[in-house]
Amino acid sequence: MKIAFSQPALPETGVLVVTALAGAKLSQAAEQLDKRMKGGLSRAIKASRFTGGKAQSLSLLVPGGTRLDRVLVLGLGKANEIDSPGLQAAGGRLYSALGRKVKAATVAVDAVEKCKLSAARMAADLAFGARLKSYRFDKYRTKEKTEEKATLGRLVVACSATTRARALYRGLDKVADGVFFTRDLVSEPPNVLYPETLARHARSLTKVGVKVEVLGMAQMKKLGMGALLGVGQGSIREPRLVVMRWDGGAGRGRGRAAAPVAFIGKGVTFDTGGISIKPAANMHDMKWDMGGSAVVIGLMKALAGRKANVNAVGVVGLVENMPGGNAQRPGDIVTSMSGQTIEVLNTDAEGRLVLADALWYCKERFKPKFMIDLATLTGAIIIALGHETAGMFSNNDVLAGRLAAAGQAVREPVWRLPLGEDYDKALKSIIADMRNIGGRAAGSITAAQFLQRFVGKVPWAHLDIAGVTWSDKEAPTAPRGGTGFGVRLLDRLVADHYEGR
Ligand code: BES
Ligand code: MN
Ligand code: ZN
């Protein structure tokens, strides 16, 4: 869908979207339209249940007194409660209402009294929400019926502050590109997307100025990444480690460059559980066990796309966890790159093994300002927080606070859970430095404790995104499927705190 911004002039024909506030208070554009309709818009509203609430919309076909085909009235709620996420949701509602019939539409956005957002900001957010909701993954559907296909190809946002709105939207559009890339990767089936091909997708970021290196088996062996390699050894698909760098900040990658911020992702392209094999029911969900890596890749695309003033690195560990004649066994002891040995008591607790080497590598090579890892790490986090909130673990209160605030701001909430020595004890092994499972109790926390053993003193946060990476329900700004949860959150974190000038 193409988005354009234009000066405010109501179109004579086609499809027009206007807004109303709580109490069915019409915007200026809606007032103008109502006049043209000789009060018909007000009458239609009175005849309906529409009250301008922030989850409402009202659709009018061939409104009298005009040559328009359709008018959609979007409720925005109370003026003083309007915020960016609310407007993005309204944009999503706009898309849902029109997206399967209408080819082009104009939405009129006016400044609203008592609203903390400018008209330009409102226009940009509305457009962003519509674009996010327009996402489709239909490359494997060859028999789609016409009425199932998306139609809305062009959305014109009419607003007085056109230049400003366009400038604000430019960055958001790049963030949406990153979110879409993440959703695409998460949606791909596991026969198509495996370590080598996922690495190839990451490599495509060179087009937007990201430096990409792909490490193969031999290099990882040399580095001593026994934990990551152990997970991959049961699969005929060889593992990869991808390193992405966006040098948009101070020093721009030269000798005195400012320390980068670092994002690390779990990229298990399919998780059967290995020899500790999973039950058959819903095992197909494990195609999105590479969700953490997809967020890191999408984030790098977003940062590079909007030319963020930051030095950022992304490191993703890519493996397929399969049973097989050469697969890792429960009881194996592997040596991680850090030198610490791990007794693998359950081959299904594989994400932490992959991250152990990815985190250590990132820390040693880049000496980053902080490390944030993302992983669909535990089923237990779904029991604890469901599908609305990601689990957060951190050794640093400042970083945790900033992440929580960014999550609030973009409505990708994270909730901090505790770490502590007593939890760490659950990882004691009788014959190695640690084992890879705690016990039934506090499964998400003991998994995080495991990761913490590989971050040294670097400020670090771990986001367990197992519950939020995939959604079986529609969301205000996303269809069902891969959500892209994490891209907007981390883009916001960077924008708010780490873009030095
Ligand atoms: N990828 C899974 C976690 C997962 C489960 C993600 C469901 C999304 C939905 C992970 O590798 C795993 O299998 N974790 C085990 C850990 C256990 C063996 C200690 C789990 O959560 O059961
Ligand atoms: Mn697993
Ligand atoms: Zn897994």
| pLDDT (tens digit per residue) in 288-343 | 999 999 999 999 999 999 999 999 999 999 999 999 999 999 999 999 999 999 99
Residue 67 pairs in a beta bridge with: 13
Atom of ligand 1 nearest to the CA of 446: 19
Domain range annotation of the chain: 2-174, 207-497
Residue whose CA lies nearest to ligand 1 atom number 14: 378
Report, as an integer, the average pLDDT of 129-144. 95
Q: What is the CA radius of gyration of the chain?
A: 25
Report, as an integer, the average pLDDT of 146-154. 89
Q: What is the CATH number of domain 207-497?
A: 3.40.630.10
Residues in the chain: 501
- 124 and 169 in contact (C-beta within 8 Å)? yes
Structure tokens at 201: 């997708």
Percent of the chain with pLDDT over 90: 95
Look up the pTM and report it. 0.97
Cα of 342 vs centre of ligand 2, distance in Å, is 16
Architecture label for domain 2-174:
3-Layer(aba) Sandwich (3.40)
Residue type, 474: E
pLDDT for residue 253 is more than 60: no
Report whether residue 438 contacts ligand 1, using a CB cutoff of 6 Å.
no
Measured between alpha carbons, how far is residue 358 from residues 223, 260, 331, 335, 431 in Å? 11, 16, 22, 14, 24
Residue type, 261: V
Which residues form the catalytic set?
Answer: 278, 352
Residue whose CA lies nearest to ligand 1 atom number 3: 378
Report whether residue 244 contacts ligand 1, using a CB cutoff of 6 Å.
no
Structure tokens at 164: 């400003």
Report whether residue 376 contacts ligand 1, using a CB cutoff of 6 Å.
yes
Rounded to whole angstroms, the Cα distance separating 393 from 462 reads: 5
Rounded to whole angstroms, the Cα distance separating 488 from 501 reads: 21
Rounded to whole angstroms, the Cα distance separating 113 from 76 reads: 13
pLDDT for residue 431 is more than 80: yes
Measured between alpha carbons, how far is residue 476 from residues 153, 165, 362, 420 in Å? 19, 22, 36, 37
